[in-house]
Amino acid sequence: MKLFPSLPLAEWVEALVDWLTNADLLFEAIEMLISFILTALQTVMEVVPIPVFIIGIPLLTFFFAGRKIGLTIFVFLGLFLIDNLGFWEDMLIMLSLVLAATIISVVVGIPLGIWMSKSNTVEMIMKPILDFMQTLPQFVYLIPAVAFFGIGMEPGVIASVIFGMPPTIRLTNLGIREVSTEVIEAADAFGSTPSQKLYKVQLPMARTTIMAGVNQTIMLSLSMVVIASMIGADGLGDIVYAAVGRNDVGSGFEAGIAIVIVAIILDRLTSGFQLKQKKK
Amino acid sequence: MTKIRVEDLTKVFGKKPQRALSLLKENKTKGEILEATGLTVGVNKASFDVNEGEVFVIMGLSGSGKSTLVRLLNRLIEPTSGAVYLDDKNLAEMDEKTLRTVRRRDMSMVFQNFGLFPFRSIQSNVEFGLEIQGLGREERTQKAIEALKLVGLEGYENMLPDELSGGMQQRVGLARALANDPEILLMDEAFSALDPLIRKDMQDELLDLQQTMKRTIIFITHDLDEALRIGDRITIMKDGAIVQIGTPEEILTNPANNYVEKFVEDVDRSKVYTAQNVMARPESVQPEREGPRVALQRMRQSGISSIYAIRRDRELLGIVHASELSKLVDEGKDDFSEVIRTDVPRVELHTPVSEVIDIITDSSVPAAVVQDGKLRGIIIRSSVLSALSGKEVNLDETISESTSS
Ligand SMILES: Nc1ncnc2c1ncn2[C@@H]1O[C@H](COP(=O)(O)OP(=O)(O)O)[C@@H](O)[C@H]1O
Ligand SMILES: [Mg+2]
């Protein structure tokens, strides 16, 4: 026998979700926006001829990620392999999901991080929320995403944003807070307005840290693609998911390798930007 | 003229700082207040005036509240109570916008660890204050180049702060402050992070610059030697309160209490004192109206064997010795001009005692202290020695004044 009746937590959450689903208009607007971003990204990427991609990205890697010959060749061969396996289309779809999630995470996350850095109260409230967001199993994000946005690419993006955004917020906050007091005092002592201080001193000083957050956000979004395919997101993740369902080790492995290649390229490119900025 | 007037300025760190104010009024110490309330007294009822164009040094041990005090002057730290008058405006009560204007126009700050923006070039660091004011690119560039020239950093415009040595970085800090053309410079331990030789150079350079620019400088340091070298006046702080304010000589010779005395103890006095601090009232004769007999008589009275000869306007002629005067008297002559020796040791009022010592050890007669060629005093070995051992010295020119009248 239970000493206490169990709390109706599940009912509360359902009630909340009920209420939120009524805010239809808002969610429809969000969905439209996301689908616009996705289509735009896909269209742009599809316009670029594949050979240009396969040659251009390695060059970009070479110049931005420390002029490493080995890495450049790897990127080239990797992209070549993805195309060769016939995954190009699926890769672009996956990429548009990841990029859309990243763009939204940055556009929402950086201002949130700035806000958090300006107020200790906001930081105190946000920190546990961010911890919570990152420690929940990834699958859990699918539930609200599906509840509000149904199935398809858009809820996949939403789930990726929720899962992937915390590092950007966190590191924006950290980056701004760790700027040395003397530099901040210098900005103030010369009569900066708060926004001059933010744009001319704090954000430039925090840039590398913020970029590290964005890099993590990209990686986390990418790690969501297979899971997002469970709620109907297309792309490479879907191929893996389907292969798991059919117990088709071969094609699952192929698609998995393709995802890893994309992950490595994105990681090197974005951490390459960081390096470059540090040196500058 | 008073540039900054500080009245009862107090800063208490912690929650509800007002709690400490009544305790401070009862003259409770910083330690007692910390124990009773958990609040830290940063600055305790500081009052002082800073004159236009002077170098005003604030000195004290680490934790004595110097940095807090200087930040209360431009309100990087909000005062708990008290007032800071700049000309006639009370900074403590200014709204944000007016305060920004004051920070942009009237006072610039130089920081201990330079506070440079690492991602900006030297040029762009120096332009920062001008950029904040919204000046056009051309004007900015020109002013920044001028400021860099002032501190001797031409040719480094496009480098990054990290690429320069500490001394050079602080020159950039100084140039950044000067580019705004402020009336007031706040310098918080500006040279403390530099190694001793570079530090001396920077002190000299600051003094050189100050000769021509005549800013009002508030200079923080924990180093007495530095304070004595560059300060027109020195304030000594302890536990947030001001213990003594005075000229370097006053601080050295009349320490207000044991705390200041401790500070002053190990100073190399010979570098701080100048001739006027150790000179004595000169006996003199005027050959234009006095003869050898008068001179001998005067020497006999004060028990000396030689005496300085001067004109009516006190212009120094030279020295005469008793033996030669006696000879003249024996020969019945009335004029002793021919026995005046002109090769006497001369020093200026502001010659450091360290140099005076060299001069008088080689000399059998006292050194003459002159100002514009006129005799102001004499220096005998024993008065130098007693000054160096910490005894009474002269704080002003009363000696020469009493005799020149
Ligand atoms: N932001 C702060 N919060 C709490 N206490 C502070 C703060 N800043 C300074 N203090 C305290 O105020 C006192 C004076 O510090 P400070 O002005 O930095 O001294 P100084 O510059 O002479 O070394 C010290 O006891 C210090 O611990
Ligand atoms: Mg300090």
Would you say the CB of residue B48 lies under 6 angstroms from ligand 1? no
Q: What's the rounded Cα separation, in Å, for the pair B157 and A88?
A: 49
- Number of residues in chain B: 405
Structure tokens at B100: 């920004």
pLDDT at A180: 94
**E-strand spans in B247-358?**
284-285, 306-310, 316-321, 346-348
**B132 close to A (CB below 8 A):** yes
The answer to whether the Cβ–Cβ distance between B108 and A190 falls below 8 Å is yes
Q: What's the rounded Cα separation, in Å, for the pair B328 and B291?
A: 10
Q: For the domain made up of B2-269, give the CATH fold.
A: Rossmann fold (3.40.50)
Would you say the CB of residue B44 lies under 6 angstroms from ligand 1? no
Res. A3: pLDDT tops 80: no
The sheet with strand B367-371 has its strands ordered as B346-348, B367-371, B374-379
pLDDT at A148: 83
Nearest atom in ligand 1 to the alpha carbon of residue B14 is 4
Would you say the CB of residue B176 lies under 6 angstroms from ligand 1? no
Structure tokens at B355: 């140099």
Q: Which ligand is closest to the CA of B14, given by its number?
A: 1
pLDDT at B397: 42
How far is the alpha carbon of B234 from chain A, nearest alpha carbon, in Å?
A: 24
Query: Tell me: the pLDDT tens digits for A139-187?
Result: 888 888 888 888 889 999 999 999 999 999 999 999 999 999 999 999 9
Res. B370: pLDDT tops 60: yes
pLDDT at A198: 96
Res. B15: pLDDT tops 80: yes
pLDDT at A33: 93
Interface residue of B75, B100, B120, B220 to substitute, partner A, most A CBs within 10 Å: B100
pLDDT at B157: 92
Instruction: Answer whether B174's CB lies under 8 Å from B126's CB.
Output: no
Percent of chain B at pLDDT exceeding 70: 95
pLDDT at A279: 47
Boundaries of every domain in chain B: 2-269, 275-388
Q: Which pLDDT band holds residue B405 (cuts at 50, 70, 90)?
A: very low
Q: In terms of pLDDT, which residue wins out, B143 or B398?
A: B143
**A205 close to B (CB below 8 A):** yes
Q: Which pLDDT band holds residue B266 (cuts at 50, 70, 90)?
A: low
Q: Residue by residue, what is the 3-state secondary structure of chain A?
A: CCCCCCCCHHHHHHHHHHHHHCCHHHHHHHHHHHHHHHHHHHHHHHHCCHHHHHHHHHHHHHHHCCCCHHHHHHHHHHHHHHHHCCCHHHHHHHHHHHHHHHHHHHHHHHHHHHHHHHCHHHHHHHHHHHHHHHHCCHHHHHHHHHHHHCCCHHHHHHHHHHHHHHHHHHHHHHHHHCCCHHHHHHHHHCCCCHHHHHHHHHHHHHHHHHHHHHHHHHHHHHHCHHHHHCCCCCCHHHHHHHHHHHCCHHHHHHHHHHHHHHHHHHHHHHHHHHHHHHHC
pLDDT at A2: 62
Backbone phi, psi, residue A12, to 5° = -60, -50
Nearest CA to ligand 1 atom 2: B13
**A-chain residues within 8 Å CB-CB of B107?**
189
Q: In terms of pLDDT, which residue wins out, B313 or A278?
A: B313
Nearest atom in ligand 1 to the alpha carbon of residue B77 is 1
**E-strand spans in B157-230?**
184-188, 216-221
The sheet with strand B233-238 has its strands ordered as B107-110, B184-188, B216-221, B55-59, B233-238, B241-246
Nearest CA to ligand 1 atom 20: B63
Query: Tell me: the pLDDT tens digits for B142-178?
Result: 999 999 999 999 999 999 999 999 999 999 999 999 9
Neighbours of B285 (CB within 10 A): 24
Taking alpha carbons only, the member of A61, A99, A122, A53 closest to residue A272 is A61
How far is the alpha carbon of A276 from chain B, nearest alpha carbon, in Å?
A: 12
Q: How many domains does chain A have?
A: 1
Q: Which pLDDT band holds residue B404 (cuts at 50, 70, 90)?
A: very low
Res. A260: pLDDT tops 60: yes
- Chain A residue with CA closest to B177: the answer is A190
Please indicate, yes or no, if residue A14 is contained in any of the structural domains: no
B-contacting residues in A 123-182 (Cβ below 8 Å): 180, 182
pTM, entire model: 0.76
Average per-residue pLDDT in chain B? 88
Q: Which pLDDT band holds residue A195 (cuts at 50, 70, 90)?
A: very high
Average pLDDT score over residue span B24-32: 87
Residue B112 CA to ligand 1 center (angstroms) comes to 15
Which among A187, A190, A205 has the least Cβ separation from residue B104? A190
**B143 close to A (CB below 8 A):** no
A266-270, B252-256, B310-314: lowest mean pLDDT where?
B252-256
Residue A251 lies in domain: 24-279
Which among A185, A190, A280 has the least Cβ separation from residue B132? A190
- Chain B residue with CA closest to A179: the answer is B117
Would you say the CB of residue B129 lies under 6 angstroms from ligand 1? no
Would you say the CB of residue B17 lies under 6 angstroms from ligand 1? no
Instruction: Answer whether B52's CB lies under 8 Å from B216's CB.
Output: yes
Count of CB pairs separated by less than 8 Å, A with B: 63
Q: Which pLDDT band holds residue B332 (cuts at 50, 70, 90)?
A: confident
Q: Which pLDDT band holds residue A6 (cuts at 50, 70, 90)?
A: confident
pLDDT at B234: 94
Nearest atom in ligand 1 to the alpha carbon of residue B68 is 17
Taking alpha carbons only, the member of B66, B82, B58, B64 closest to residue B10 is B82
Query: Tell me: the pLDDT tens digits for A81-116?
Result: 999 999 999 999 999 999 999 999 999 999 999 999
pLDDT at B393: 57
pLDDT at A181: 94
pLDDT at B390: 60
Q: Which pLDDT band holds residue B400 (cuts at 50, 70, 90)?
A: very low
Q: What's the rounded Cα separation, in Å, for the pair A27 and A15?
A: 17
Please indicate, yes or no, if residue A227 is contained in any of the structural domains: yes
Q: What's the rounded Cα separation, in Å, for the pair B319 and A255?
A: 107
- Chain A residue with CA closest to B99: the answer is A191
Average pLDDT score over residue span B278-300: 87
Q: Which pLDDT band holds residue A280 (cuts at 50, 70, 90)?
A: very low
* Predicted complex ipTM: 0.80
The answer to whether the Cβ–Cβ distance between B132 and A196 falls below 8 Å is yes
Nearest atom in ligand 1 to the alpha carbon of residue B62 is 23
Amino acid at A260: V
pLDDT at B403: 38
Between CA A210 and CA A217, with CA A213 as vertex, the angle to 5 degrees is: 140
Nearest CA to ligand 1 atom 27: B63
Instruction: Tell me chain A's radius of gyration from C-alpha atoms.
Output: 21
pLDDT at B380: 83
Average pLDDT score over residue span B332-337: 85
Please indicate, yes or no, if residue A19 is contained in any of the structural domains: no
The answer to whether the Cβ–Cβ distance between B129 and A185 falls below 8 Å is no
Would you say the CB of residue B67 lies under 6 angstroms from ligand 1? yes
Q: What's the rounded Cα separation, in Å, for the pair B159 and B138?
A: 20
Please indicate, yes or no, if residue A10 is contained in any of the structural domains: no
Average pLDDT score over residue span A59-66: 86
Domain B275-388 classification at class level = alpha beta
Nearest CA to ligand 1 atom 18: B67
**A201 close to B (CB below 8 A):** yes
pLDDT at B241: 92
pLDDT at A66: 79
Q: Which ligand is closest to the CA of B46, given by its number?
A: 1
pLDDT at B268: 67
- Chain A residue with CA closest to B116: the answer is A183
Q: In terms of pLDDT, which residue wins out, A140 or B396?
A: A140
**A200 close to B (CB below 8 A):** yes
Q: What's the rounded Cα separation, in Å, for the pair B178 and B213?
A: 10
The CATH number linked to A180 is 1.10.3720.10
pLDDT at B391: 57
Distances from the Cα of A27 to the Cαs of A38, A39, A117, A163, in angstroms? Answer: 16, 18, 29, 18
